[in-house]
Amino acid sequence: MSDWWRGAVVYQIYPRSFRDASGDGVGDLKGITEKLPYVADLGADAIWLSPIFTSPMKDMGYDVSDYCDIDPVFGSLTDFDQMIERAHDLGLKVIIDQVLSHTSDLHPWFKESRVDRTNPKSDWYVWADPKPDGMPPCNWSSVFGGPAWEWEPRRRQYYLHNFLNEQPDLNMHNPEVQDAILATMKFWLNRGVDGFRLDTVNYYFHDQKLQDNPPNPTISPEDSPSETYGWQQHIYSKNQPENIAFLERMRTLTDEYDGRMMIGEVGDAGETAIQLMGDYTQGQSRLHMCYTFEMLSHAYSAGHFRGIIENFQKGAPNGWASWSFSNHDVCRHVSRWEDHAVDKDVLAKQAISMLCSFEGSIGIYQGEELGLEQTEMEYHELTDPPGIRFWPEVKGRDGCRTPMVWDDHVHGGFSEVTPWLPVKAPQRARNVAGQLGQEGSVLEHYRAVLSHRKATPVLISGETEFLDTPEPILAFVRRIDDVALLCVFNLSQTDQSIAIDGLGQISGPSIAAKIEGNTVHLGSNGAVTITQSALGKTFALLG
């Protein structure tokens, strides 16, 4: 089925932390292959692998030094082929991360480019002369702190790096660079991958005039003392209109293969993010779908979630979204939202119930189905550059990247040796073996909700209509023709009730919910989906 990705459940695997089969303390491809039946039984349709390519690991694989080989820490191309074969046998699609905006500074392309201004790859990266006073050509800042420019003495020029200085930005304005990138994508398509997750997809192009970014009037140093990137409006260093034409070239390539897809990570927020999602997924010639960080924040309210979805409906009426609450870059959502719950397990259950009711495709980050919280890290345990550099104001991303917990053994069944990041007691207590088959566990709730979603077409492709409910109630109807399903959530710690006409029966798993006449009662972080009382009946608020 060519559009398998519409409404799909994509399970993100962070390879370093999923399963160590080789016994070196780092997860690997053989370990992933071993545990694929677990992912399939959970109810996922696809897996997304964070980068597994050859890399010096300055940014844990998001600094690629060879786009067409596997880093030895993860295994070999043979291991990769065997993993794909096993995934396909289990009915799982395989999506791999593509980090195309930048490479490692150890990539052969950059090694050649930095030597002088006349070599064949001299224009493959973003180089610029200094200002007369020796300062960088413009004020662009790095996501990881400080200027986005690094001096190269051999060329007497600066190069652009939107992230670490070991991650130089490719010059996508150069057609040769585009051709080379497309060739690397073709390499993996020919190996049978089903799709690409495109890292920082809105960073591919820069303003060639190198104009200064204006300040962001909504943020002050007092609001963000350790994260200076947000002090600018990044209207020249990313989000350039030339991006569209390259996305169309990428789509032309993937369309040469049956059933392949691309999902883009839009590294932005607010109206800009929604606009880009719409632009990038418009029609049939660009990306298949996009996601932003809008639902990966600390915000947790009915108005917040409704606003994001409605803004996408308005800004991208022909686009397709992918929503998730956690990934490898942010604090796990149970920890982000714990102040809004009495019981963290109930919060975890509500989260997947709510996510599975949203229009679009959904992403699950490994371990969230166990209700895993953010791991509290000590400074000496850190590996993530932002955390190391800006501790303690910035804790880094290691806390959401600690190993998967398969059982209650000392390292959580992840490895027989000390792992690259620690497995601590709060995480180990929520292991797979302790929850599998246990009625009432977070894991079994995930399995039940994903099964219900898959068996309910209106949750896959139905349109969304919101009811004007007051906080903290989020309520909306998913509808296909005369078939409708009402979804109601209590985003608070206190019991809530609301009167709605047209109530039928509870459909699928619910949380602390009951129906009395025309009234829905929900306990703390309650969740329920309800059929309509009669075919074609309209749900309506009462009172």
Read off the DSSP letter of residue 366.
T
d(CA 493, CA 144) in angstroms, rounded, equals 36
Name the pairing type of β-strands 463-466 and 195-198.
unpaired
With b meaning 16 or more CB within 10 Å and e meaning fewer, what string describes 343-370? bbbbbbbbbbbbbbbbbbbbbbbbbbbb
d(CA 417, CA 306) in angstroms, rounded, equals 45
Q: Is 448 exposed, middle or buried (0-12, 13-18, 19+ CB in 10 A)?
A: middle
120 Cβ contact partners less than 8 Å away, ≥ 6 residues apart: 112
Yes or no: say if 287 and 280 are a contact pair by the CB < 8 Å rule. yes
Place of tokens 């993010």: 273
Q: Which long-range contacts (CB under 8 A, 24 or more apart) does 211-215 make?
A: 211/138, 211/236, 212/138, 212/139, 212/140, 212/236, 213/138, 213/139, 213/140, 213/141, 213/237
Residue 256 among the catalytic residues:
yes
Rg (CA), the chain: 24
Q: Is 318 exposed, middle or buried (0-12, 13-18, 19+ CB in 10 A)?
A: exposed
Closest-CA residue to 35 (of 67, 57, 13, 61): 13
Yes or no: say if 395 and 387 are a contact pair by the CB < 8 Å rule. yes
Tokens of 405: 């917990």
The residue annotated as part of the active site, out of 222, 256, 339, 439, is 256
Closest-CA residue to 80 (of 118, 54, 99, 117): 54
Name the pairing type of β-strands 483-490 and 519-532.
antiparallel
Largest CA distance in the chain: 78
d(CA 98, CA 145) in angstroms, rounded, equals 23
Residue type, 45: D
d(CA 86, CA 47) in angstroms, rounded, equals 12
The H-assigned helical ranges of 265-398 are 270-281, 302-315, 333-336, 344-355, 385-390
Place of tokens 């990137």: 229
The residue annotated as part of the active site, out of 97, 194, 199, 359, is 199
d(CA 66, CA 95) in angstroms, rounded, equals 18
The total of other beta-carbon atoms located within 10 Å of residue 538's CB is 12
Tokens of 156: 């007497």
Residues designated as active site: 199, 256
